[in-house]
Amino acid sequence: MAMVETAPPPAAVTLDKPVGKSPWERLKPTVLALIVPGLLLLFWHIATTRRWTRLIPTPYEVGEYMIDFAVGGIYDDAFSATLVTHLLASMGRVYGGFALAALFALPLGLMIGRIPTARMVLDPFLQVMRPIPVTAWLPLSMILFGLGPRSAFALVCLGAFYPILLNTIFGVRSVDPKLFEAASMLGCQGNAQFYKVVLPAALPSIFTGLRLGLGLAWFVIVVGEMTGVPQGLGAVIMDGRTLSRTELVICGMIIIGIAGYISDRIVVMIGNRMLKWSPTHHG
Amino acid sequence: MAESKTPIIEIKQVSKVFKLQDQTINALHDANITIRKGEFVCLIGASGCGKSTLLRIIAGFEQPTSGKALMWGTPIAGPDPTRGMVFQDYALFPWLSVRDNIGFGPASRGLAKPVVKETVDKFIELVGLTKFANAYPHQLSGGMKQRVAIARVLANDAEIVLMDEPFGALDAMTRERLQDELLDIWQRTGLTVVFVTHSIEEAIFLADRVVVMTPGPGRIESDNPLILPRPRDVASPEFNEVRRVLGAKLHSHHGKKAA
Ligand SMILES: Nc1ncnc2c1ncn2[C@@H]1O[C@H](COP(=O)(O)OP(=O)(O)OP(=O)(O)O)[C@@H](O)[C@H]1O
Ligand SMILES: [Mg+2]
C-alpha cells in the first residue's frame, strides 16, 4: 500500500525542483553574498576612525545622514527628507528613457535582423555610432535638448538603446535554421513564421538586451543628471561634490546601487517566469 | 491509370549540384526511385553519398538541379504538411511544451482548439508521453524528444514520414525500443516511411526495401526488396545472409576504387 502511494510518477522526479534543502543550503547564497560588502564596510570603518583620510566620513556618519536624507529630523538642512523626491525623479528618467529606448530599439532590431536591405542600410551607421560613449554626447545633448530633464532623459535613452538593439538583432539572426524548416513542413510558412518562430526563439536574447539596457540606464543616470536638473540622485551627487559634502555623494551612490539592483532582480524574475522553457536562462 | 496505381513518390533522373565559391559538388547524380503508399524504404550508404540531399528533395527543402520529384504525380514545389520530416537533432521548438510542439502543425493549419487538443491527446498517448505533456524539450531524454518529433508529424496528418538518421544519436537500447515502436505505428497506420540510416542492421530490421547509395557523385547503386517475414529476428541465419549481401554491395564501391 504505502509503496504504491509514495512511488511518484517518473515525471514528478525530473520536472519538480529539488525540495527539502537544509537551512544552511537555503541561507548559503545570502551569507556568501554578504562577505565582500561586510569586509568593505569593516575596512571603511577602520580607515576612517583611524583617520587615514579626513575627507571621507565614517560609515556611522553616512548611515546617520542616510536616515536624515530619507526621513529628516537630524540635521534638517536642504536635503533632509528629500530622498523619495530625488529617487522618484531618477526612476522616472530611468524607466522613461528605458521604455523609449525599447520602443525604438525592438522594432529596429527585429527589422535589421530580418530584412537584409535594412541591415545593409543601417548596420554600418549604427556600428560607427555605437562606440561613442554617452558622456561624449553630453555637450551636444545640452545644445539639442537644453539644460535640464529633457537632456537627462535623452542620454539615459541613448545609453539603453544599443544593448537592446544589438541583442535583438543577435537573437533574430541566430535562430536555428532547422526550426524554420520544421515550421514550414508543419504548415507554418511565410510571415506566420515571424510570430511563431522568430519572436519566441529570439526572446532570450531580447530579454538579455532589455536587462543590460535597464542596467545601463541606471548607469548613465548620473551623467544624464549632470545637465543641470534640480532633482534626481545624479543631481544630489553633483551637488554633494560642489558643496564638498562627501556623505551626500556616498548616500546617492548607495541608493543608485540598491535601486539598480532591485530593478534588475525584478526583471530577472519576470524573465525566469517567461523563459522557463530555456535551460540557459536563469539569472 | 487508377489513382491507387500512382506511386506516392517518384524521383525521376534527379540530379543535384551544389555550387560553392570555387567548386561544384555533384551531391546526387541521375537518381531514380519509386515509392508506393505504405512502403517502408531505407536509404543507406557511406557519408556524403547524397542520402540527406535526396530526402530533402522529397521534403521540398531543396529543388532538383535537373530531373523531376513528384508526389502523387505532381511536382514537389516546397515543404508541405503531407510530407513530415523527422530530423536527427529533433528540431523541436524549445519554447513549446511537448503538448504544444505536437499541436504546432494542427494549430498552424487553423484547426479549432478542441480538435487540436483531441489530436494532440491521441498522439501523445500513441508515443507514450502523456505524463510529460507539459514538459519542455530540454527536460526530456533524446529518445523522448524523438518521440515528440514523430508524434508532431503524425499529428499533422503526414502521409509520408521522412526520417534522417532519426535514431543515430540514441543509445542502443533506446534505439531498439524506438525501432519497435516505429514499426508498430507504421503497421497500424499504413504510413509511408523513408528512413536514412548508417546501420545495415537497422535497415534490414525495418525496411521493405533497402536502397544502397554510393558517393562521388552520389548515385543509387541498387534497390533491394527484402522478403524476410516480420517480425524480424536479427539473430536468424536469413537475416545474416541479407546482411552479408547488402554489406558486399555497400562496400563494393570502395573495393573498386582501391583496385
Ligand atoms: N547545402 C549544401 N551546400 C553545399 N554542399 C552540400 C549541401 N548539402 C550537401 N552538400 C554536399 O553534398 C554531398 C552530399 O551530402 P548529403 O548530406 O546528402 O550526404 P549524406 O549521404 O546525407 O551524408 P551523411 O551520411 O554524412 O549524412 C556532400 O558532399 C555535401 O558536402
Ligand atoms: Mg545526411
Are B119 and B177 within one domain? no
Are B169 and B243 within one domain? yes
Q: Where do runs of H (alpha helix) occur along chain B?
A: 51-59, 98-108, 113-126, 142-154, 172-189, 200-206, 237-258
Are B176 and B252 within one domain? yes
Phi-psi region of A20 (alpha: psi -120 to 50; beta: other; left: phi over 0): left
- Point out the ligand 1 atom lying closest to the alpha carbon of residue B218: 14
Which residues line ligand 1 at a C-beta cut-off of 6 Å?
B 18, 20, 25, 27, 45, 47-53, 218
Among the partner-chain residues A9, A178, A203, the one whose CB lies closest to the CB of B131 is A9
| Contacts with A171 from chain B: Cβ below 8 Å | none
| Contacts with B93 from chain A: Cβ below 8 Å | 179, 182-183, 197, 200-201
pTM of the model: 0.87
Are B70 and B171 within one domain? yes
Å from B160 to nearest chain A CA? 12
> Is B94 a residue whose pLDDT tops 70?
yes
CA dihedral A222, A229, A150, A146 (to 10 degrees): -110
Does B166 lie at the interface with A, CB-CB under 8 angstroms? no
Last residue of a domain, one of B105, B127, B157: B157
pLDDT on residue B216: 83
Among the partner-chain residues B60, B93, B135, the one whose CB lies closest to the CB of A179 is B93
B1 part of a folded domain: no
Interval B59-75: pLDDT, tens:
999 999 999 999 999 99
How many domains, in total, are found in chain A?
1
Question: Chain A interface, mutation test: which of B53, B57, B71, B95, most A Cβ atoms within 10 Å?
Answer: B95
Are A97 and A156 contacting, i.e. CB atoms less than 8 angstroms apart?
Answer: yes
- Point out the ligand 1 atom lying closest to the alpha carbon of residue B55: 18
A60 part of a folded domain: no
Are B74 and B184 within one domain? yes
Q: Cα(B164) to centroid of ligand 2, in Å?
A: 7
pLDDT on residue A8: 40
Instruction: Say if the Cβ atoms of B156 and A187 lie within 8 Å.
Output: yes
DSSP track, A16-73: SPP----HHHHHHHHHHHHHHHHHHHHHHHHHHHTTS-SSS--HHHHHHHHHHHHH-S
User: Which residue's C-alpha comes closest to atom 29 of ligand 1?
Assistant: B48
Question: Chain A interface, mutation test: which of B93, B97, B134, most A Cβ atoms within 10 Å?
Answer: B93
E strands, B20-59, are 24-35, 40-45
Q: What is the H or E stretch that residue A257 is in?
A: helix A246-274
A125 part of a folded domain: yes
Burial class (CB in 10 A: 0-12, 13-18, 19+), A31: exposed
Question: What 8-state DSSP symbol labels residue B228?
Answer: P
Are B70 and B103 within one domain? no
Last residue of a domain, one of B136, B157, B178: B157
**Rounded distance between C-alpha atoms, residue B137 and residue B57, angstroms:** 28
- Three-point CA angle A159, A162, A164, nearest 5°: 105
CATH number of the domain encompassing residue A102 = 1.10.3720.10
- Point out the ligand 1 atom lying closest to the alpha carbon of residue B20: 4
Question: What does the radius of gyration of chain B's CA atoms come to, in whole angstroms?
Answer: 19
Which structural domain, as residue segments, surrounds residue B110? 93-157
Q: Please state the ipTM of this predicted complex.
A: 0.91
Probe ligand 1: pick from B51, B167, B200, max atoms within 8 Å of CB?
A: B51
Last residue of a domain, one of B141, B157, B173: B157
Are B220 and B184 within one domain? yes
Are B67 and B181 within one domain? yes
A50 part of a folded domain: no
Are B154 and B84 contacting, i.e. CB atoms less than 8 angstroms apart?
Answer: yes
Mean pLDDT (10-residue bins), chain A, 283 residues: 39 51 89 94 92 88 93 88 94 95 96 94 92 90 88 92 95 95 95 95 95 94 84 92 92 94 94 88 58
Are B172 and B221 within one domain? yes
Are B122 and B200 within one domain? no
Which structural domain, as residue segments, surrounds residue A261? 84-172+203-274
B2 part of a folded domain: no
B87 part of a folded domain: no
| Contacts with A201 from chain B: Cβ below 8 Å | 93-95
How many domains, in total, are found in chain B?
2
A39 part of a folded domain: no
Distance from the first to the final alpha carbon of chain B: 47
pLDDT confidence tier of residue B6, bands split at 50, 70 and 90: confident
pLDDT on residue A11: 42
| Contacts with A181 from chain B: Cβ below 8 Å | 59, 61, 79, 85, 87, 91
Q: How distant, in Å, are the alpha carbons of A262, A281, A282, B31, B186 from that of A269? A: 11, 11, 9, 55, 45
pLDDT on residue A227: 76
Are B117 and B75 within one domain? no
Question: What average pLDDT does range B175-199 have in this prediction?
Answer: 94
Q: What does chain B come to in residues?
A: 259
Instruction: Say if the Cβ atoms of A189 and B131 lie within 8 Å.
Output: no
Are A138 and A223 contacting, i.e. CB atoms less than 8 angstroms apart?
Answer: yes
Are B200 and B128 within one domain? no
pLDDT on residue A18: 57
B88 part of a folded domain: no
| Contacts with B79 from chain A: Cβ below 8 Å | 181, 184-185, 189
